[in-house]
Amino acid sequence: MYISMKFKHLFILFVSFTIATGYGQSKKTEIADRFFDLYKFQEAIKAYKKALKRDRKNAIYIYKKLGDSYSIISQPEEAEKWYAKAVFDTDNEPIYYYRYAMALRQNKKYDESVEWMKIYKQKSGMSDSRLEEFFKELDIVEKVKREGNKAQIYGLSINSPFSEYGAVYYKNDQIAYTTNNIKANGKRKSSYDNLPFTDMIIAQRKDENNFEEVSNFPSVINTNYHESSPTFNSDYTVMFFTRNNMNPQKSNNLRDYNLKIYRSKKQPDGTWSMPEEVHFDSDAYNCAHPCLSKDDKTLFFASDMPGTKGKSDIFKVEVKKDWTLGKPENLGKDINTEGTETFPFVDQHGNLFFSSDGHAGLGGLDIFVAFYTASGNFFMLKNMGLPYNSSKDDFAFSINDAHDEGFISSNRLGGMGYDDIYLFRPSEMIRPFIYFVGHTKDNNGFVIPNALVDLYNNGKLIRKKVSMFDGRATFLLDPEKEYEIRAHKKGYQDAVVKINTFNLKKSRIERDLILNQFQKIKACMADYDTKEALDSVEVKIYGHNNKEEQYILYTKPNGCIDFKVPIELQQKEVFYEFEFRKKGYLPKRYNYKKKLDKDTMNWIKPHKQRVFMHKLKLNPIYFNLDKWDIRPDAVTELDKIVDLLNKFPKIKLSMESHTDSRQTKAYNKRLSQRRAQSTMQYLIDHGIDPKRLKARGFGESRLVNHCSDGVKCTEEEHQMNRRTEFMIISDEDDE
């Protein structure tokens, strides 16, 4: 049916339909099989139908060959009919379930296609990336429909009842494209489908949406055989294109399917040079559909050369300064599948557009884009969606540098001929997005719906969402950026997730946004004598559930702070150490242990709801290196403590001693405990009841400056850490 099918599915015959003709064949199918092997499919179809009337015994075999023939020449309606007759044979090769499923898909019978694909998966037992992607993207059709049309699309006036495809921009507001219409030089017919060969034509823009033919390429380029898919360098002086390898002098029994890439250069007189094959062309495989990168340094093309993953793969090759080429490199499994990947096109950003029937799509060939990153990788594959794709074959994508218009080719319904060229104008930018999926949950793993989820970039709020009934909240992110996603809901502590989209290999990021349940704890500080609120009191909070966590808060003008206590899985109570400090006041420590009751407020002082601080200017006392005896300069401060304890007989005090970072942590822990004991002993010796005192050594764990292990410090800086501080741990207001 399609002359252009020759070039679209140039490799299908070698891999997909190379089923041994000996299976099921008989003398009565011998002629039809010969036509099939010579790729004369129109004649093969007639012969198989004739044989079917005389050979019912081999009907299943003939059904398969008819299905294959119609599939190859892109008549999925007929292919479906014959495959449907074949697949109910219990001795089927598994591949026929796949072919039937794909024919159904091209005919928009998506639900039936899924069922037959399941059978293929069960029967084949093969590792096939197409299967994995197919079942991963079962909702691709509905997803594409939900996304809606992304462009306006117009059929061009150059389309005819024949085949037109593969338009690319040429100089002076012109395009070059491929056709086998009546103006083409290729009057001979292809053995493939008995239709004329194609030529490359130049057309001039007539108006916004239309072009008209102005000239053919000269006969040195366009011959009596296939030429197609031109690509030009930046100044249009070098052209690569596709040509079949048929030679008029060769025997008519030779098949003309083999395709090669040729190169031609503009001569000083403006003519094109005699085309030359590129060095990696071969009679043993196909190379076709070249596309030059915008910097003229890389040529992309399709081939089934050795090393190909599927029927055809996308390759790239270095372009040297003299326009010779390097060694071809397969683009790998992220681009190529066991199916057909063909018609590459690279835009000015380096993004790769190509057609594939191996990635999850709407049916037939779909157009995909693999976005290019600054690190030099293709990191994301995306189906271009509507209206670029249909259930039929969509291919030969190209776009101008401004990204405001381009061309696709398609055999979709409603066209004028076998294949038609369509001009499109995007209604949204063609650019990569990373799909972020967040799930709002509590710390017990239960879904939290209706949480507010905010997206930030560089501290700026970008978008807001509300999580759905299943906790899902989604954002489209740009590549090469850093983001912060923050989820919040009343009664829960905020969840914050930081992600970056640099050097990603996948287009989807999933994260759980854990909103910890919490309980509010409130503390209010006041002066012991005046009972007035104390603002700007530094509140240090240590030891949440025996962890080395530390929070620093400051009381508000009303003297209070609110502290949110995270509630962990199965947690029934929490333990905190609160330390209150304000200049001119004796520090105070409060141990807080409480059973948790969700959604209630707990107070540090549940009865009086205030913590009182005693006004007393008191400095730490200091120790000499590796010593714990009381120095003379410490006596003044210790005597102030004796006076305080005598004045307030219910106060209990903690002596908290520290060391510098020299020596080991274990040694320093013991040394600090000796200093605390020495300090406490001085108070006992001056008449203070030891029951009112507590000695605690912290070693080097709470330095007051930067002088940690390995840091060079002065002796004065180390001295600041060799100290004992005094902390009220209880008084009459705590009783």
* pLDDT tens digits along 106-134: 888 888 888 888 888 888 876 777 777 77
Amino acid identity at 542: Y
* Cα distance from N-terminal residue to C-terminal residue, the chain: 97
Which of the four pLDDT bands, split at 50, 70 and 90, describes residue 547? low
Q: What is the mean pLDDT of residues 207-218?
A: 90
Q: Report the length, in residues, of the chain.
A: 735
Six-digit token string for 432:
């990569």
Q: What is the mean pLDDT of residues 359-367?
A: 89
Which of the four pLDDT bands, split at 50, 70 and 90, describes residue 477? confident
User: Is residue 17 over pLDDT 90?
Assistant: no
**DSSP symbol at 447:** B
Which pLDDT score, from 0 to 100, does residue 137 have?
Answer: 66
Q: What is the mean pLDDT of residues 48-66?
A: 89
CATH assignment of 151-426, among 1.10.357.10, 1.10.645.10, 2.120.10.30, 3.30.420.300: 2.120.10.30
Residue 270 neighbours by CB under 8 Å, 6+ apart: none
Which pLDDT score, from 0 to 100, does residue 375 have?
Answer: 63
Which pLDDT score, from 0 to 100, does residue 570 have?
Answer: 56
Q: What is the pLDDT of residues 430-468, one digit of tens each?
A: 877 788 999 999 877 889 999 999 999 998 999 999 999
Which pLDDT score, from 0 to 100, does residue 420 have?
Answer: 95
> Would the CA dihedral through 27, 28, 31, 37 be positive or negative?
negative
Q: Locate all alpha helices (DSSP H) within 364-523, ordered by sequence.
A: none
701 CB-contact burial (10 Å; exposed 0-12 / middle 13-18 / buried 19+): middle
Which of the four pLDDT bands, split at 50, 70 and 90, describes residue 599? low
Six-digit token string for 119:
């059978």
Q: What is the mean pLDDT of residues 660-669?
A: 95
Q: What is the dihedral of CA 245, 249, 252, 258, to 10 degrees?
A: -10
- Per the DSSP assignment, residues forming a β-bridge with 553 are 539
**Lowest-confidence segment of 275-279, 400-404, 637-641 by average pLDDT:** 400-404
Residue 419: which of 244, 161, 222 has the closest Cα? 161
CATH number of the domain located at residue range(s) 5-127 in this protein:
1.25.40.10
Task: Yes or no: say if 537 and 523 are a contact pair by the CB < 8 Å rule.
Answer: no
User: Is residue 548 over pLDDT 90?
Assistant: no
Homologous superfamily assigned to 621-728 = OmpA-like domain (3.30.1330.60)
**Residue of higher predicted confidence among 266 and 89:** 266
Residue 262: which of 237, 245, 249 has the closest Cα? 245
Count CB neighbours of 670 within 10 A.
Answer: 14
Which of the four pLDDT bands, split at 50, 70 and 90, describes residue 136? low
The segment with the largest mean pLDDT, out of 3-17, 244-258, 703-717, is 703-717
Q: What is the mean pLDDT of residues 670-679?
A: 96
Six-digit token string for 15:
């891999």
- Per the DSSP assignment, residues forming a β-bridge with 578 are 541, 590
Residue 718 sits at φ, ψ, to 5 deg, of -65, -35
HSE, side-chain direction, 13 A CA sphere, residue 391? 19
Domain coordinates of the chain in residue numbers?
Answer: 5-127, 151-426, 434-510, 517-613, 621-728
Q: Tell me the helices (H) and strands (E) count for the chain, helix number first.
A: 13, 39
Q: Percent of the chain at pLDDT above 90? A: 53
CATH number of the domain located at residue range(s) 434-510 in this protein:
2.60.40.10
Task: Yes or no: say if 633 and 624 are a contact pair by the CB < 8 Å rule.
Answer: no
> Would the CA dihedral through 685, 688, 692, 695 be positive or negative?
negative
Which of the four pLDDT bands, split at 50, 70 and 90, describes residue 343? very high
Q: Which residue has the tokens 């983001």?
A: 483
Question: Cα separation of 549 and 542, whole Å?
Answer: 6
**DSSP symbol at 57:** G
* pTM score of the predicted model: 0.61
Q: Cα separations (Å) of 346 from 186, 297, 301, 389, 595?
A: 29, 12, 11, 18, 64
Query: Coil, strand or helix: which one is 571?
Result: coil
**Lowest-confidence segment of 5-9, 156-160, 165-169, 720-724 by average pLDDT:** 5-9
Q: What is the pLDDT of residues 367-412, one digit of tens each?
A: 999 988 766 777 778 889 999 999 889 999 999 988 899 999 999 9
Task: Yes or no: say if 299 and 319 are a contact pair by the CB < 8 Å rule.
Answer: yes
680: enclosing H helix or E strand: helix 665-685
Please, what is the average pLDDT of the chain? 86
CATH architecture of 517-613: Sandwich (2.60)
Which pLDDT score, from 0 to 100, does residue 734 have?
Answer: 63
Query: Coil, strand or helix: which one is 5?
Result: helix
Which pLDDT score, from 0 to 100, does residue 598 have?
Answer: 58
Q: How, if at all, do strands 560-567 and 517-527 pair?
A: antiparallel
358 CB-contact burial (10 Å; exposed 0-12 / middle 13-18 / buried 19+): buried
Q: What is the dihedral of CA 423, 427, 433, 437, to 10 degrees?
A: -130
412-430 core/surface letters (b: 16 or more CB in 10 A; e: else):
beebbbbbbbbbbebeeeb
Which pLDDT score, from 0 to 100, does residue 175 have?
Answer: 96
Which pLDDT score, from 0 to 100, does residue 397 have?
Answer: 97
Query: Coil, strand or helix: which one is 612?
Result: strand
Which of the four pLDDT bands, split at 50, 70 and 90, describes residue 141? confident
Which pLDDT score, from 0 to 100, does residue 22 have?
Answer: 43
User: Is residue 75 over pLDDT 90?
Assistant: no
Give yes or no on whether 151-426 and 621-728 have one common fold: no
Task: Yes or no: say if 335 and 354 are a contact pair by the CB < 8 Å rule.
Answer: yes
Residue 462: which of 481, 449, 448, 447 has the closest Cα? 481
SS (H, E, C) 681-703: HHHHHCCCCHHHEEEEECCCCCC
Q: Cα separations (Å) of 651 from 637, 641, 644, 690?
A: 17, 11, 9, 12
Q: What is the mean pLDDT of residues 507-524?
A: 85
Question: Cα separation of 21 and 32, whole Å?
Answer: 10
Tell me, rounded to whole angstroms, the distance of Cα 6 from its chain centroid: 35
64: enclosing H helix or E strand: helix 59-72
Which of the four pLDDT bands, split at 50, 70 and 90, describes residue 209? confident
> Would the CA dihedral through 11, 14, 15, 21 be positive or negative?
positive
Residue 363: which of 393, 339, 343 has the closest Cα? 393
Q: What is the pLDDT of residues 560-569, one digit of tens each?
A: 998 877 666 5
Six-digit token string for 617:
């200017």
